[in-house]
Amino acid sequence: MAADPATRAVTQALAARTGTDPGDWFLVFKARYGMAVVFRAVREGRGPGEVVTQIFTCSTAVDPILAAGLTPRHADVSPDTVSIDPDRLVLTDAARAVVVQHTFGIVDDERAARVAAAARGVGALVVEDSAHCVGRLARDASGPVADVSIHSFGVEKVLPTHFGGAVWLNPAADAGLRGRMADELAGLPVVGARLDLLARAYRAEVGVLNRLPGAVSGPARRALTALRAFEPAVAPAEGRGRLPYRAMRPSPWMAQTMAAALPRLDEVEQGRGALVAEYQRLLGDAVQVPAGARPGDPLVRWPFFAPDGPTARRVLHALDAAGIYAGSWYRPALFPGVEDPQRYGYRPGDPALATSEDLVERVVNLPTGGDVAEARRAAEVVLRVVAGAPRT
Ligand SMILES: Cc1ncc(COP(=O)(O)O)c(C=O)c1O
């Protein structure tokens, strides 16, 4: 079936940004459903086994592994990238895939290539998670390092689209697996009228919910979700190891929204990069920042680590009181938290994940989508709290 003009515009724009072929890009309703197709193909093509990923992530990035009948196994991350640390990665031949996540949009080509090489060493598929950096791929001298790359147009990602995802299939990847994934992605059904309507209503609904007092907003959001009158960023089932829908393609309206946003991606990235540079200038010496986050990088949020968990929470409180929306992405681990971590392959307190757990405890992330004045105000609040924090 020939792609509609909006889908063609999106795949062409993504291909142009990445120096790839538009025919290797496929659109999905949310990135997590692209991952679901990929992991299901891995399970069917390579049999049961593990997908190596990280706990410093969203539950929706692990649900597709469980939904495919594979077993998540978590590797510890590097504090420089908040992504799997190649220096400490140990893989066995139970690994069917390894996820290289560009957390917050930090793309470390060299480390990503080393994780990819380790994955290939045990015959595992290299799945790049570029959910936080749509249109960016890790590369080495010979080109993109991943076999598959997952991109998000979802809620609180780089572009203000709220819905949509894209999957890039490397033409050099294992032909059997690649063919399986391409066939399935090309044949996905389009989302139905209800989800299309909810996607169109999303911005207005969130606007109203965010204006309600905190004590009302959460219950109202949950009630609307239960009534299937609101499509949340993370559904209740997505904290219980399940995805609520089958994999689907975006509606024409969603694809048009994605197509309309992509021409502004350079501008959006420049704006985010400017705020990252400003945060780095104002706070880089006062707090711990992942070394892989360079000033000017177009990060989806600017992450830093407070000296300890209580200080991180005080910073978030103070920012909230100052009317600045800061994130606690990824505290708790498998954000925003899951009912049964063991089901997700995570045993809290596991010494093998000590770095990840320490970073989860101390993380704060600041918005990069606003203006410089707001960033300066946020930095002042952070400095005030951190300067007053007891030394540990
Ligand atoms: C690291 C990571 N991967 C994947 C996803 C899934 O993206 P989407 O919301 O488009 O399904 C998210 C979303 O929260 C994420 O943070």
pLDDT digits 0-9 by tens, 180-193: 999 999 999 999 99
Question: Which pLDDT does position 389 carry in this prediction?
Answer: 67
| Assigned domain for 215 exists | no
Whole-number average pLDDT of the chain = 96
pLDDT in tens, 312-332: 999 999 999 999 988 778 999
Question: Which pLDDT does position 123 carry in this prediction?
Answer: 97
The residue count of the chain comes to 392
Query: Does the beta carbon of 278 sit less than 6 angstroms from any atom of ligand 1?
Result: no
Query: Does the beta carbon of 300 sit less than 6 angstroms from any atom of ligand 1?
Result: no
Residues 6+ apart with CB under 8 A from 297: 105, 106, 107, 273, 276
The pLDDT confidence band at residue 214, using thresholds 50, 70 and 90, is confident
pLDDT in tens, 232-243: 999 999 999 999
Residues 6+ apart with CB under 8 A from 296: 273, 274, 276, 277
The pLDDT confidence band at residue 390, using thresholds 50, 70 and 90, is low
What is the Å distance from ligand 1's center to 299 Cα?
15
Query: Does the beta carbon of 32 sit less than 6 angstroms from any atom of ligand 1?
Result: yes
| Assigned domain for 45 exists | no
Cis peptide before 344 (omega within 30 of 0): no
Alpha carbon of 322 to those of 133, 145, 382: distances in Å?
28, 42, 11
List the CATH number of the domain containing 349: 3.90.1150.10
What is the Å distance from ligand 1's center to 35 Cα?
10
- How far is it, in rounded angstroms, from Cα 107 to Cα 81? 8
Cβ atoms of 188 and 248 closer than 8 Å: yes
Domain containing 330: what range? Answer: 263-388
What is the Å distance from ligand 1's center to 320 Cα?
24
| Assigned domain for 303 exists | yes
pLDDT in tens, 45-104: 999 999 999 999 999 999 999 999 999 999 999 999 999 999 999 999 999 999 999 999
- How far is it, in rounded angstroms, from Cα 314 to Cα 387? 12
Query: Does the beta carbon of 38 sit less than 6 angstroms from any atom of ligand 1?
Result: no
| Strand blocks (E) in 274-340 | 301-305
Residue among 57, 150, 152 whose CB has most ligand 1 atoms within 8 A, to mutate:
152
| Assigned domain for 327 exists | yes
388 pLDDT more than 90: no
Residues 6+ apart with CB under 8 A from 82: 56, 103, 104, 106, 290, 303, 359
What is the Å distance from ligand 1's center to 20 Cα?
22
Query: Does the beta carbon of 159 sit less than 6 angstroms from any atom of ligand 1?
Result: no
Which residue, by CA, sits nearest to atom 5 of ligand 1?
A: 61
| Assigned domain for 256 exists | no
Q: What percent of the chain has pLDDT over 70?
A: 98
What is the Å distance from ligand 1's center to 390 Cα?
35
Cβ atoms of 169 and 178 closer than 8 Å: yes
Question: Which pLDDT does position 326 carry in this prediction?
Answer: 82
Mean pLDDT of the 367-376 span: 95
Query: Does the beta carbon of 250 sit less than 6 angstroms from any atom of ligand 1?
Result: no
| Assigned domain for 338 exists | yes
The residues pairing with 365 across neighbouring beta strands, listed in sequence order, are 303, 327
Question: Which pLDDT does position 284 carry in this prediction?
Answer: 96
| Assigned domain for 106 exists | no
Query: Does the beta carbon of 62 sit less than 6 angstroms from any atom of ligand 1?
Result: no
Q: What is the 3-state secondary structure (H, E, C) of 83-145?
A: CECHHHCCCCCCEEEEEEECHHHCCCHHHHHHHHHHHHHCCCEEEEEECCCCCCCCEECCEEC
Alpha carbon of 75 to those of 61, 340, 352: distances in Å?
14, 19, 8
State the pTM of this model: 0.97
| Assigned domain for 52 exists | no
The pLDDT confidence band at residue 391, using thresholds 50, 70 and 90, is low
What is the Å distance from ligand 1's center to 61 Cα?
6
Cβ atoms of 202 and 27 closer than 8 Å: no
Cβ atoms of 111 and 141 closer than 8 Å: no
Looking at the structure of the chain, the number of domains it has is 1
Mean pLDDT of the 256-269 span: 98
